[in-house]
Structures are given as C-alpha cells and as structure tokens.
C-alpha cells in the first residue's frame, strides 16, 4: 500500500510524532511511505532530518497564517500535483494543524481516502488555539478512519458522534542518546511542556509549599506559556528554576540528560508526549492519574501515579526523591507498545472493515 503521512505544523510534538510514525510504517512489509511536513518544521533543520517528499510552505506568524489561508485556493493545482505524483492509496494526518483544509480539498478532489490521528478530542483550558478544534471537526467529517491514542480520547470522540475509530497508544519517543540516571545527593526533577493552566503548575507550587524549603531535590520548569501567579510563586522557591521559553528539538536530549525524573502534575490530559519522551529516555515519571495517563503509564515500574491534589503530589515527590537517592534505576521498556507494534496495529485497523 502507498501511504502519505502529513503534518503541517512547524513546532512541537506534531512533526516529531508524524515522522516517527512514517518511519515505523515504512518498515512494515509491503508499505511505501511518503512524508509531508511544513517547510519550516524544526525537525527538518536538525542534524538528522527525516526524508521528506513534500515540504509545504506554511507560516511563522498570525499574519503569515492569514496570508496562507487566503492563498490556499490559488495553490490547489500545486497540492493536486503533489498528490498525483505521490499517488497514495491512503493519506494519514499525523496531527491536525491549521492548514489541513488545503490538503483535505486536494484529497477530496482526487477521491483519495484519508485517516486522522486525533491527539485531543477537545481544547484544553487556556489553549490559545482552541479554535483549531473547529477545523479538526471538519477534517474528521470526511475521514475514512479516525485514530486515537487512548481509550480516554476514544470515549470523548464517541460522545461527539465520531465513528470508525481505531484506538492505539502513544509509543515511547526517542530524541537521541541519553545517559543513564546518575545517583545524586539532590535528585533532579523536571517539568517540561507548555505552561498552561491545565498543566497543574499551581498544584505543583502548592505541593512544594507542603514539602517546605528543606526538600531534598532540585526542580527545573522548562517550557513556553503566559506568565501566571503559579510561575511567580515557583520562581521565588529555593531549588526551583523557571525557564519560560520555547525549547526546540535539538535541546531535548540535554534536558532529559539533566533530569532523573519528569513531573506531570496535570489537571487533565489526553495522553502525554512528554511521558513518551521520559519513557524512551529511561527516566522516572510522576504523573497525576487523569485522562489517558493511567492507560499510557500502566505496567511501568518507573511510572508513579497520584491524585491531582497538592498533598498527593507532595507525597509522590517525597517517595520518588527517596527512591532516586537510593539509586532508583529504570528497567528498559518492553517492545509491546513500540512503534513497529503500533504501526502494524494501525495497518490492521485501517485495512479492516470491522472497526
């Protein structure tokens, strides 16, 4: 089967996830895979860019987005030209993005079926791009298959009337060589990701207050987002560093090498690309038991779940600190949820009439 994998966002998890999925599908017998990414995607500027058959010019600002939307009808012939040249039997959107209507129009014109990997069924609180869910709903209406990565998202999609769902999982995501955990007097805890309200930074600050200034670990908060009272509180705490900026793909191995454990104090979650990074890097994960996180972290001895409450997070941090101080090594993750196994399951799903 000839497959086209596309994602036209520049930054974040979308290009990385789509490129990994394309690579895993290409390793399956009888599959011929082409990849289309945004021309400005971070991953294409890295030291080992994935093979990209179609680099689509997108945008770097709100004004650029508006210009690209206005140009979409004029670029229809170019889109159709790429699709005819690649001639896919099925196109798969690795993660919805804001210019997908351009691809959808070309696929519909050529009657090429497509599938969509849905990472979130609804916008999260504080997400400035919540309007992208309107575009996602339009994309889903024409999809032959909808692929999700947790039962939590599947349930939400079915509640929206979405059918023909293939439910898979989020495999671990490697971003380069990361050394084993180092035994330290003061373990290193890392929060990495968007600094938005639903990420529970206020819960994390409250839990640190409960532990007090004598807590025996260092915490690094790394990510991009609006300034907030929670971030201000965290900045004032001893042993805590806040770095409010974008971290590109090339910086991820260094972040993971610094960390002994990643902390996910979320108020809600679909599943977590950050947890997938931690698992692949052999790091401990402390996460709140919300959304699809219990599914994603089930059966991993280095994953620790707690209630989304300051007291429970504080207790989790205390227990994890003791384990790391004693030399808490991480066992290698098994192959049951690897990219090749997930890619094979995806192909079975989209080739089956019994979904």
Question: Which residue in this structure is represented by tokens 């806040």?
Answer: 242
**Mean pLDDT of the region 50-65:** 85
Tokens of 348: 């079975």
Higher-pLDDT residue of 131, 162:
162
Determine the longest span between alpha carbons in the chain, in angstroms: 64
Q: Do domains 2-171+337-351 and 188-325 have the same CATH topology?
A: yes
Mapped onto helix, strand or coil, the DSSP state of residue 286 is strand
Q: Inform me whether the pLDDT recorded for 354 exceeds 50.
A: no
Q: Inform me whether the pLDDT recorded for 330 exceeds 90.
A: no
The domain spans of the chain are 2-171+337-351, 188-325
Q: What are the CA-CA distances from residue 152 to residues 218, 244, 315, 344 (Å)?
A: 33, 30, 26, 22
Q: Inform me whether the pLDDT recorded for 129 exceeds 60.
A: no
Work out the pLDDT band at 87, boundaries 50, 70, 90.
very high
Question: Could you tell me the pTM of the whole model?
Answer: 0.91
Average pLDDT taken over every residue of the chain: 90
**Mean pLDDT of the region 184-202:** 94
Work out the pLDDT band at 333, boundaries 50, 70, 90.
low
**Mean pLDDT of the region 71-96:** 91
Q: What is the pLDDT of residues 29-56, one digit of tens each?
A: 999 999 999 998 988 987 789 999 999 9
pLDDT value of position 169: 94
Tokens of 90: 């099925």
CA angle 173, 174, 178 (to 5 degrees): 140
Tokens of 110: 């050529």
Name the CATH superfamily for 188-325. Glycogen Phosphorylase B; (3.40.50.2000)
Q: Inform me whether the pLDDT recorded for 124 exceeds 60.
A: yes
pLDDT value of position 138: 86
pLDDT value of position 66: 80
Architecture of domain 2-171+337-351: 3-Layer(aba) Sandwich (3.40)
Tokens of 346: 């995806």
For the chain, how many residues are written? Answer: 355
Calpha distance 97→120 (Å, rounded): 12
Q: What is the pLDDT of residues 221-247, one digit of tens each?
A: 999 999 999 999 999 999 999 999 999
Tokens of 315: 């207790």
Q: Inform me whether the pLDDT recorded for 347 exceeds 50.
A: yes
Q: Inform me whether the pLDDT recorded for 137 exceeds 90.
A: no
Q: What is the pLDDT of residues 267-284, one digit of tens each?
A: 999 999 999 999 999 999
Q: Inform me whether the pLDDT recorded for 353 exceeds 80.
A: no
pLDDT value of position 65: 75
Q: What are the CA-CA distances from residue 207 to residues 159, 213, 306, 311 (Å)?
A: 34, 11, 12, 6
pLDDT value of position 79: 92
Q: Inform me whether the pLDDT recorded for 157 exceeds 50.
A: yes
């Amino acid at each position: 089967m000839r497959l086209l994998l596309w994602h036209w966002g520049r930054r974040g998890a979308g290009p990385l996830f789509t490129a990994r999925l394309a690579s895993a599908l290409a390793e399956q017998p009888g599959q011929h895979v082409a990849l289309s990414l945004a021309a400005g995607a971070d991953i294409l500027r890295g030291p080992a860019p994935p093979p990209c058959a179609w680099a689509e010019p997108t945008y770097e600002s709100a004004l650029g987005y508006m210009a690209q939307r206005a140009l979409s009808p004029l670029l229809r012939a170019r889109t159709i030209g790429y699709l005819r040249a690649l001639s896919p039997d099925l196109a798969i959107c690795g993660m919805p993005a804001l210019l997908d209507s351009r691809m959808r129009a070309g696929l519909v014109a050529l009657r090429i079926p497509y599938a969509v990997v849905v990472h979130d069924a609804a916008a999260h609180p504080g997400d400035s791009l919540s309007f992208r869910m309107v575009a996602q709903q339009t994309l889903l209406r024409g999809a032959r298959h909808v692929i999700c990565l947790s039962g939590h998202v599947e349930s939400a999609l079915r509640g929206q009337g979405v059918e023909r769902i293939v439910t898979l999982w989020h495999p671990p995501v490697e971003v380069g060589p990361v050394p084993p955990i180092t035994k330290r007097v003061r373990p290193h805890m890392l929060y990495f990701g968007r600094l938005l309200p639903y990420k529970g930074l206020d819960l994390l600050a409250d839990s640190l207050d409960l532990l007090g200034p004598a807590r025996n670990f260092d915490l690094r908060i790394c990510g991009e987002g609006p300034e907030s009272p929670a971030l201000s509180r965290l900045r004032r705490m001893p042993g805590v560093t806040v770095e409010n900026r974008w971290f590109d793909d090339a910086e991820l191995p260094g972040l993971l090498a610094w960390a002994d454990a990643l902390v996910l104090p979320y108020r809600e979650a679909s599943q977590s690309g950050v947890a997938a990074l931690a698992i692949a890097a052999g790091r401990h994960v402390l996460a709140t038991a919300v959304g699809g996180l219990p599914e994603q972290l089930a059966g991993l001895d280095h994953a620790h779940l707690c209630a989304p409450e300051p007291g429970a997070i504080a207790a989790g941090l205390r227990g994890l600190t003791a384990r790391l101080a004693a030399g808490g090594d991480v066992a290698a993750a098994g192959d049951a949820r690897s990219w090749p196994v997930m890619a094979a399951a995806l192909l079975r799903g989209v080739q089956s009439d019994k979904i």
